[in-house]
Amino acid sequence: MSGAITIRTEQDVVDFIEGGRPTGARMRWIWILGLGGVFFEAYANAALSTGLAPLTEQLRLTPGEVSLLAGSSMLVGLILGPVAGFLADRLGRVPMLIAAKAVALLSAVLATSATSYPLLVSGRALAGVAWAFDFAVVMAYLAEFLPIRHRSRLNRWQGIWYVATTFNLLLTVGIYQLGVGGSIWRWSLGSAGVIAVILGVLQVFLLSESPRWLASRGRMERAARSLRQVYEVDVVAGASPDVPAAGAPSGPSAGSSWADFGQLVRGPYLRRTMLAVVTFYAQGLEYFAIGWYLPVISLRLFGEDFAAATLGAALFNVFGIVGGFASGALAQRFTIRRTMLIGFALVALVLIMLGALFDNIPLWLAFTLPALFLLLHSGGPAPGGMSLAAAAYPSNLRALGSGVTNMAGSTGAVTGLFVFPLVLDAFGPGTTIIIMAIVPLIGFATSVLIRWDPEHDPAVSNATPALTAKRVG
C-alpha cells in the first residue's frame, strides 16, 4: 500500500503519536466526550449537594443519615478506583467509560424515584461505581492520545469540573423558579441521568479505543484502525518482530494481572506513584479547610433564600473555573509538578491568613480569601496529582495507576468529611483552619522532594524501543 504507515509494535504507535500529526474530527470528539465524562461526574456530585438541604427536610433525615448519604458514593468510589483501573487495563478504556454511563443512569433513576432512605442510598452507591469507572479511566484514556509536550493539557479537567458544578447550580435555580418546591433534589438528580444517556450514546458511536492500549495488548490491526479513524491517514499493521524486547508483551495474551499492583511501587514507578498519590490525597483533604465554609459565606453575603444562596455558591465557583482552565497554561510553562508546588505553597499561606483573622475578619475579606483559595487550589494542587498519574506509567499500567491515585483523592475527601468536624469541635474554626494548613505544606514538601516531571522524563512503552513507524513506499 503506497504511502501507508506500518506499525509493528507499541513503540511504533508511541512514535506515531509523538510525531505530532494533525488530527481529524474524531480527535475533537474524543476530547469533548472524554472531558464530558469529567463534566458529568462533577455534575452528578453537585446534583446531590445542591438539593441536600430540601432533601433532608422533605425526608426528615437525621444528621447520621445525611452523612451516610453524602459519603456513600465517595466511599464506594474509594474502594473501586483501583479495581476500575485494573479492569480498564485488561478490557479496554472505552468499554469502562460506556459502562460508567449505564451505571450512572441506573443510579439517577433509583435516586430520583426513591420513596425510602435505603433506595436513595443505593442510588448514591451506584453513583460511586460510575465515578470509579469513569474518572479512574478517562484521564489515562486522554493521556494516551497526547504527545509528551502536550501532557500539561490534562490539567484542563479541573476547569471542566467547576463549569459542571456551576451549570448544575444555575440549572437547579432555574428549575426551582418553576415552583417544584422541596422536590428540587429529585429534578437535580434526574437531570444527571439525562446527561448520562446523551454522553453514553455519543461515546458508543464516536469514541475510538486507545491505540496505545490496543498495541500493548498485541492487537495491532485494531490499533491501526484506531489511528486511521483519529488521524485520517493510511496506517497498516505489519508483522511483529521475531525477537521481542525483554519484558515486552508477547502478543494478545499479554495484559494486566493482579501482580501489576506491585509494579506501581517498584523501580522507577515508586517515586512517581508516591508523588501522584500523596499530592492528590492532600488536595482532596485541603479542600475541607474551606469547602465547609463556603455555604456560611454565601448565607452571610446573599441571605438565606435557596435561590440566592445557590447563586452565591455559583459565584465562588467562577474562581475555580478561572484557576482550573489557567492550570493547563501554567503547567505548560512551569510543568505540572512545579505548578502544583507553587499552588500548595500559596494555598497554605491563604489558610494561615484566614485562620489567624477568622474571629475578627471583615466581610469583604471573608469573601476574598475563600475565593483566592479556590483560584489557587484549582490552578495547581487540584488537577496535578491525577494528571501526573495519567502520564506516569506505560499503557499496561496507566489506568491502574490512575485508579490508585483516584482512590487516594477519595480517601482525602472522606478523611476531611469525617475528621474535619471533630477537629473543628475540639479547637474552633480559626485554629482548625491553621492546623489544616499542614496538609498543603505536606503536598508542597512532596512536590519539592520528588522531582519527577513527565514533560522531561516520560513513561516508556512496553514495546521494542528500537523500532519506529515506517512508511511503505
Fill in the DSSP letter of residue 459.
P
User: Are 372 and 342 contacting, i.e. CB atoms less than 8 angstroms apart?
Assistant: no
Distances (CA, A) of 126 to 76, 184, 190, 374, 381: 8, 21, 14, 29, 28
What does R_g of the chain's alpha carbons equal in angstroms? 23
Residue 47, C-beta contacts closer than 8 angstroms, at least 6 positions apart: 168, 172, 188, 189, 191, 192
Cβ(398)–Cβ(143) under 8 Å? yes
Q: What pLDDT does residue 297 have?
A: 64
Condensed to tens digits (0 to 9), the pLDDT of residues 68-98 reads 887 888 889 888 999 999 999 999 999 999 9
Which range is most confident: 184-188, 249-253, 306-310? Answer: 184-188
Q: Which residues contact 235 (CB under 8 A, 6 or more apart)?
A: 4, 5, 6, 7, 16, 224, 227, 228
Helix (H) or strand (E) holding 237: strand 235-237
pLDDT score, position 376: 95
User: Mean pLDDT in the chain?
Assistant: 85
Percent above pLDDT 90 for the chain:
49
More confident residue, 419 or 306: 419
Q: What pLDDT digit, counting tens, does each position of 237-255 carry?
A: 887 665 444 334 444 434 5
Task: Read off φ and ψ for residue 335, nearest 5 degrees.
Answer: 85, 155
Neighbours of 423 (CB within 10 A): 18
Whether the Cβ atoms of residue 6 and residue 459 lie closer than 8 Å to each other: no
Q: Which three cell numbers stand for residue 395?
A: 499503557
pLDDT at 135: 85
Q: Which residues pair with 471 in a beta bridge?
A: 5
Which residue, among 206, 146, 128, has the nearest Cα to 387 in the 3D structure? 146
For residue 472, the cross-strand partners are: 4
What is the per-residue pLDDT for 305?
Answer: 73
What confidence tens digit (pLDDT) does each residue in 448-457 have? 999 999 887 7
* Mean pLDDT (whole number) for 279-297: 79
Walk me through the domains of the chain, giving residue ranges and CATH numbers. Answer: 4-241+260-458 (1.20.1250.20)
* pTM given for the model: 0.84
324-362 residue pLDDT tens: 999 999 998 999 999 999 999 999 999 999 889 988 888
**pLDDT attached to residue 84:** 92
pLDDT exceeds 80 at position 58: yes
Q: What is the pLDDT of residue 467?
A: 37
Lowest mean pLDDT, pick from 389-393, 399-403, 413-417: 413-417
The answer to whether residue 23 scores a pLDDT higher than 80 is no
**To the nearest whole percent, how much of the chain has pLDDT over 70?**
89
Cell numbers for 82: 483501583
Question: Per-residue pLDDT for 469 more than 90?
Answer: no
pLDDT band for position 442 (50/70/90)? very high
- Angle, alpha carbons 324-36-320 (nearest 5°): 20
Q: Quick one: the chain helix, strand, coil %, rounded to 5? A: 75, 0, 20
Assign 472 to helix, strand or coil.
Answer: strand
In order of 9, 155, 214, the CA distances from 230 in angstroms are: 18, 22, 14
Mean pLDDT of 217-240: 90
User: Looking at residue 119, what is its pLDDT?
Assistant: 93
